[in-house]
Amino acid sequence: MIKEIREPLVFEISEAGKRAAELPALDVPVKKDVLAGVPLRREIEGFPEVSETEITRHFTRLSQKNYCVDMGIYPLGSCTMKYNPKINERLSAHSAFAASHPLAPEDLVQGNLEVLKKLEGFLCEIAGMDAFTLQPAAGAHGELTGMMLIRATLEARGNARKSVLIPDSAHGTNPSSAHICGYTVKEIRSNENGTIDLAGLAEAMTEEVAALMITNPNTLGVFESDICRIAEIVHAKGGLVYMDGANMNALTGIARPGDMGVDVMHINLHKTFSTPHGGGGPGSGPVGVKKELAPFLPVPVIGEKGGRYILDFNRPRSIGRVRSYFGNFSVIVRALCYIMTLGPKGVREIAEFAVLNANYIRKTLEGSFTLKYPTASMHECVFSDKLQKEFGVSNLDIAKRLIDYGVHPPTMSFPLIVHGALMIEPTETESRRDLDIFIDAMKAIAREARENPEVLHAAPHVTYVSRLDEVAAAKFPVLRWEKKA
Amino acid sequence: MSYLSLSDKDKAEMLAATGAKTVGDLFSCIPEAIRLKRDLDLPAAQSEIELVRTIEEIGHKNGYPGHLSFLGGGAYEHFIPTVVDYLSSRGEFVSPYTPYQPEVSQGTLQVSFEFQTLVCQLAGLDIANDSLYEGATATAEAVLMAQRVTNRSKVILARSLHPQYREVVRTYIKNLGVEAVEVPYGPDGRIDKNALGRLLDDKTAAVVYQSPNFFGVVEDVRALSDGAHGVKALSVTIVAEAISLGLLEAPGRLGADIVAGEAQSLGVPLSFGGPFLGFMASKKEFLRQMPGRVTGQTVDKQGRRGFVLTLSTREQHIRRERATSNICTNQALCALRATIFMETLGKQGLKELAWQNAQKTGYAADKLAAVPGVKLRFTGPAFNEFVIELAKPWPAVDGKLRKMGLIAGYGLEPAYPELKNAVLVCVTELRTRDEIDRLARALQEVVS
């Protein structure tokens, strides 16, 4: 490997007069009074000026400072960092889709509407729900949409109610989404298995409660085996069950939320259906509902009439739009391609291999790290740093040292009910070799924690930057480049 | 075809290691009653060859790409330099997640820092976040932010704000006790200032307007901001056509407190409306109320510069129900595209691109207005869109034009019943003089 070049900010290599793009000469006569009276800017102050060669080198070098799924295992728990098939990139960028305008007349975008309708159908079948909307742009956006649907449904029944029950192991987006929907949040405690305590739920579930938001399998990777009983308790008091489908990767083709008493759920296409995470997005968070909630879905709904697809805006009970246009369409194309590539058997194998890989990791690391909850794991397992704490080593040290071994760390410090958590989700696409690289690194680190904890405190040792001062970043925020005075 | 990587031997050995006899045993935690006892009803698996055939066949049912189109209205067809596609397709950018581990994510983080800087420069404001979903939800987030900053519960929305953005704002605020009132536009297509004056009061959290507005007319940002500030409300500029910021004075310099909206124009393909690129910039005193991810500069143990996600105590994973927003992901890959786009066009190029949009639009407006039976609906200054009013019913005109391979624009009547036979026409740098002339000739044939 050649010596790594420290890459400046583009603004620091900018020089007046350079450019990386030329435009054709204006082919209409110049009109002097265009935008007359409107304040125009003299220049875009601070904007960079570089050549195309410099642009290419800048972004290529920056890309090389990233770890990614294409390089190796990326076992971020609850994020489902599986391999992203390349054909899906090519097909979603096909000009027939990429060049189509969202305000085009519906008879000129029949192909796009077919894509949407097809994926809705596939998701209904996989999740066991009656209808889906593909409009939400991400998982949290799906949660918000789902909670709005619940509110609308309860309002139609006569009382929107006041609060939402959320287990203490839930993602932070759950309480936040419920809050934006105008509900107060009541946390319910997990029992010694890390699952929902039925007695506690029954006590909390009053006629003031609109819904239970549940993640199943939960964020410990544990299946809520009492799910049918849980749904009964909620339904008996007139509430609805929302399922966060972040962990759907454990269930595809094995069991369907719609068969467990779930009324509303979202699915993350960027998790379960392999669309790339893109360094933080775009995602897509379709929401599935049971019949009673379907009239409230966001507009437009894709309908069919006389053998053609139509956009149905005539939905008087709809909650309205949650996003412009139709959702993250090119992400939707990718997910469709993925399901069509896998077929029924392949979709079931997602869950089978994801759960096998996670249990293999769990079994081989038990003993080296503490498992707070011994309950059976599905697609992910959550260890803690309890054993390592004795030597003054934290989950942060373990995570940073993993980087030296060439693998991405697991999710850290979540769920909140496990102190010093290391939440590991390998996904189904990993090879034995990549799983073993991770396992061997974890075991080596467990040894180092006893024998040489200093090496962990100082990790990572091999990266472009060493451990960064996050406290200073928050205390004295520098959020943009500025020209030196 | 599948993307699994275990051989039968691996599978057997790993299963043995777990102590399970069959893969089915691993699912024994799921009660028998709710296990699916059949195959999913999905089409049979397709090989790559078959998949390409199937998907291309579906794609070819889209007649749209064969037309000469003047559609805009919040989604714009612009030049995308090849380097944008090429560099943003790198697996190192496409396949990582949120940079939770900054030491192995400096590429993504530095791009975010550059993106935030570029957005601040365009908006003329101090701080920007790391992107939001798209323009409509960015508008809703701006409304909620203004409510938090001012602790007031009424927002004034311009009727000339993108109709879908207004709908989304209404969906978001419905359950939060925020009231939205609409301010009409005048004959020039700009906000009716007298009407605005009557609506402004000490309950007003913000005046939320789009500039250039949905009709393509550039608003008087200075006057609107002064009006808002007169009652201590915020001035929120929504920008749906980010290219305009290359030429128009930065809203932040004309008094805007928050500038938010849609940056799809900056290198993101139309893709039937998504993924797009929401953005938000504001004055620095509102930093703690800003939604979404933010990247900050810091140093490592050796004192070298590096970047991290920061100020996360605003966010849902720390603050849960008290967070500034429920947003978790951003649109990093679209923001990367925009960053490459902005840096490639650069200081000269973006300004020239914006200027060409305005010039061609000026030419097109004159040309179409000269057609008998076509007149300009508004008199205000246009950036790259304008509204024409036809002497004949739009649906019939549209039908005839489409037979000629033309889409003249977006019929406004469904969203604005008061604008009968009015059409929003968009002209970007990609439309040539010949194409504009062709539209004028066709309209002449159909309308007069």
- Residue A36, burial from CB neighbour count under 10 angstroms (0-12, 13-18, 19+): exposed
The CATH number of A346-472, from 3.40.50.720, 2.40.50.100, 3.90.1150.10, 2.40.10.340, is: 3.90.1150.10
Structure tokens at A289: 């509902």
A chain contacts of residue B315, beta-carbon cutoff 8 Å: 172
Is the Cβ–Cβ distance between A206 and A361 less than 8 Å?
A: no
A412 touches chain B (CB under 8 A): yes
Round to whole Å and give the CA distance between A257 and A280: 27
Which of A47, A275, A482 is best to mutate for the B interface (most B CBs within 10 A)?
Answer: A47
Cα distances from B129 to residues A282, A473, B118, B149, B318, in angstroms, run 15, 15, 11, 17, 18
- In order along its 448 residues, chain B shows pLDDT tens digits of 579 999 999 999 999 999 999 999 999 999 999 999 999 999 999 999 999 999 999 999 999 999 999 999 999 999 999 999 999 999 999 999 999 999 999 999 999 999 999 999 999 999 999 999 999 999 999 999 999 999 999 999 999 999 999 999 999 999 889 999 999 999 999 999 999 999 999 999 999 999 999 999 999 999 999 999 999 999 999 999 999 999 999 999 999 999 999 999 999 999 999 999 999 999 999 999 999 999 999 999 999 999 999 998 887 777 777 888 888 888 999 999 999 999 999 999 999 999 999 999 999 999 999 999 999 999 999 999 999 999 999 999 999 999 999 999 999 999 999 999 999 999 999 999 999 999 999 999 999 8
Nearest-neighbour CA in chain A from B296: distance (Å): 5
CB contact under 8 A, B62 and A108: yes
CA torsion sign for A310, A315, A319, A324 is: positive
- Is the domain A87-341 a CATH 3.40.640.10 member? yes
- Residue A485: per-residue pLDDT: 73
SS3 of A284, please?
coil
Nearest-neighbour CA in chain B from A391: distance (Å): 22
Round to whole Å and give the CA distance between A234 and B83: 54
Identity of the residue numbered A288: G
A398 touches chain B (CB under 8 A): no
Nearest-neighbour CA in chain A from B276: distance (Å): 7
Instruction: Name the residue facing B42 among A270, A339, A349 (closest C-beta).
Output: A339
CB contact under 8 A, B36 and A175: no
> Beta-carbon neighbour count of residue A471 at 10 Å?
10
CB contact under 8 A, A27 and B429: no
Q: How many helices (H) and strands (E) does chain A have?
A: 15, 13
Instruction: Name the residue facing A55 among B307, B330, B340 (closest C-beta).
Output: B340
Structure tokens at A256: 């369907």
A180 touches chain B (CB under 8 A): yes
Instruction: Name the residue facing A39 among B85, B249, B315 (closest C-beta).
Output: B249
Q: Of the candidates A59, A16, A47, A58, which has an alpha carbon nearest to the alpha carbon of residue A481?
A: A47
Q: Of the candidates A451, A446, A445, A397, which has an alpha carbon nearest to the alpha carbon of residue A420?
A: A397
- Which tens digit of pLDDT belongs to each residue from A368-404? 999 999 999 999 999 999 999 999 999 999 999 999 9
Instruction: Name the residue facing A343 among B19, B42, B93 (closest C-beta).
Output: B42
Instruction: Name the residue facing B133 among A38, A96, A137 (closest C-beta).
Output: A137
CB contact under 8 A, A228 and B58: no
A46 touches chain B (CB under 8 A): yes
Q: What value of ipTM does the predicted structure carry?
A: 0.97
A233 touches chain B (CB under 8 A): no
Query: Average pLDDT in the A109-120 region?
Result: 98
Round to whole Å and give the CA distance between A91 and A333: 8
Query: Average pLDDT in the A23-38 region?
Result: 96
CB contact under 8 A, A280 and B293: yes
Instruction: Tell me the pLDDT of chain A averaged across its residues.
Output: 96
Cα distances from A156 to residues A144, A299, A321, in angstroms, run 18, 18, 18
SS3 of B228, please?
helix
Q: Of the candidates B141, B143, B112, B140, which has an alpha carbon nearest to the alpha carbon of residue B128?
A: B112
Angle at A461 between CA A455 and CA A463, to 5 degrees: 155
CB contact under 8 A, B65 and A171: no
Is the Cβ–Cβ distance between A241 and A261 less than 8 Å?
A: yes
A chain contacts of residue B294, beta-carbon cutoff 8 Å: 477, 479
Tokens 């608003």: give the residue: B219
A chain contacts of residue B121, beta-carbon cutoff 8 Å: 44-47
pTM: 0.98
Q: Residues 6 or more apart from A174 whose CB is under 8 A from it?
A: A143, A166, A213, A215, A244
Q: Could you tell me where in chain B the CATH 3.40.640.10 domains are found?
A: 82-341
Structure tokens at A434: 């990549």
Round to whole Å and give the CA distance between B206 and A323: 21
DSSP state for residue B380 in the 8-state scheme: S
Q: Residues 6 or more apart from B297 whose CB is under 8 A from it?
A: A473, A478, A479, B113, B305, B306, B307
Round to whole Å and give the CA distance between A247 and A266: 10
Nearest-neighbour CA in chain A from B126: distance (Å): 8
Tokens 């896998």: give the residue: A342
Task: Tell me chain A's radius of gyration from C-alpha atoms.
Answer: 25
Tell me how long chain B is: 448
Q: Could you tell me where in chain B the CATH 3.90.1150.10 domains are found?
A: 64-78+346-447
Q: Residues 6 or more apart from B244 whose CB is under 8 A from it?
A: B211, B212, B218, B354, B357, B383, B384
Instruction: Name the residue facing B171 among A253, A319, A339 (closest C-beta).
Output: A319
Cβ under 8 Å to B: A residues 338-397: 339-349, 351-353, 355-357, 359-360, 362-364, 375-376, 378
Q: Of the candidates A56, A81, A44, which has an alpha carbon nearest to the alpha carbon of residue B355?
A: A44
Instruction: Name the residue facing A409 among B101, B121, B349 (closest C-beta).
Output: B101
Domain boundaries along the sequence of chain A: 1-65, 87-341, 346-472
CB contact under 8 A, B93 and A139: no
Tokens 């007649």: give the residue: B63
SS3 of B424, please?
strand
CB contact under 8 A, A320 and B19: no
Angle at A430 between CA A427 and CA A434, to 5 degrees: 130
> Beta-carbon neighbour count of residue A237 at 10 Å?
15
Higher pLDDT, B163 or A416: B163
Quick one: which H or E segment has residue B262? strand B258-262
CB contact under 8 A, B41 and A344: yes
Instruction: Name the residue facing B62 among A111, A330, A434 (closest C-beta).
Output: A111
A chain contacts of residue B14, beta-carbon cutoff 8 Å: 356-357, 360, 432
Instruction: Name the residue facing B330 among A11, A38, A280 (closest C-beta).
Output: A280
How many CA atoms, within 13 angstroms, populate the side-chain half-sphere of residue A358?
Answer: 36
Q: In DSSP terms, which residues pair with A242 in a beta bridge?
A: A213, A264
Instruction: Name the residue facing A344 among B42, B162, B348 (closest C-beta).
Output: B42
- Residue B329: per-residue pLDDT: 81
Count interface pairs A-B at CB distance under 8 A. 669
DSSP annotation string for B275-330? S--EEEEE-GGGGGG--S--EEEEEBTTS-EEEEE--GGGSHHHHGGGSS-S----
- Is the domain B64-78+346-447 a CATH 3.90.1150.10 member? yes
CB contact under 8 A, B360 and A28: yes
Is the Cβ–Cβ distance between A212 and A435 less than 8 Å?
A: no
Q: In DSSP terms, which residues pair with A468 in a beta bridge?
A: B300
Distance of CA B40 to the CA centre of its chain: 36
CA torsion sign for A309, A311, A312, A318 is: positive
Instruction: Name the residue facing B105 among A66, A343, A432 (closest C-beta).
Output: A66
Nearest-neighbour CA in chain A from B354: distance (Å): 11
Q: Of the candidates B116, B106, B92, which has an alpha carbon nearest to the alpha carbon of residue B311?
A: B116
Q: Of the candidates A460, A159, A27, which has an alpha carbon nearest to the alpha carbon of residue B102?
A: A460
Can you give A98-143 as a three-state secondary structure string?
A: HCCCCCCCHHHCHHHHHHHHHHHHHHHHHHCCCEEECCCCCHHHHH
> E-strand spans in A280-433?
287-289, 301-305, 308-312, 370-371, 381-384, 411-412, 421-424
Q: Residues 6 or more apart from A350 whose CB is under 8 A from it?
A: A249, A252, A253, A272, A342, A428
Is the Cβ–Cβ distance between A297 and A313 less than 8 Å?
A: no
Cβ under 8 Å to B: A residues 424-483: 428-432, 434, 458, 460, 463-470, 472-474, 477-481
Round to whole Å and give the CA distance between B58 and B187: 44
Structure tokens at B347: 């200081």
A chain contacts of residue B318, beta-carbon cutoff 8 Å: 172
CB contact under 8 A, B105 and A363: no
Which of B9, B10, B35, B40 is best to mutate for the A interface (most A CBs within 10 A)?
Answer: B40
Q: What is the largest CA-CA distance in chain B?
A: 83
Cα distances from B394 to residues A319, B217, B372, B391, B441, in angstroms, run 30, 21, 15, 9, 16
- Which tens digit of pLDDT belongs to each residue from A312-367? 999 999 999 999 999 999 999 999 999 999 999 999 999 999 999 999 999 999 99
Which of A9, A10, A30, A38 is best to mutate for the B interface (most B CBs within 10 A)?
Answer: A38
CB contact under 8 A, B347 and A49: yes
- Residue B325: per-residue pLDDT: 84
Q: In DSSP terms, which residues pair with B204 in a beta bridge?
A: B154
Domain B82-341 classification at class level: alpha beta
- Residue A1: per-residue pLDDT: 54
Which of B49, B62, B119, B125 is best to mutate for the A interface (most A CBs within 10 A)?
Answer: B62
Structure tokens at A147: 């909670």
Angle at B354 between CA B348 and CA B355, to 5 degrees: 85
> Beta-carbon neighbour count of residue A484 at 10 Å?
5
Round to whole Å and give the CA distance between B242 and B210: 11
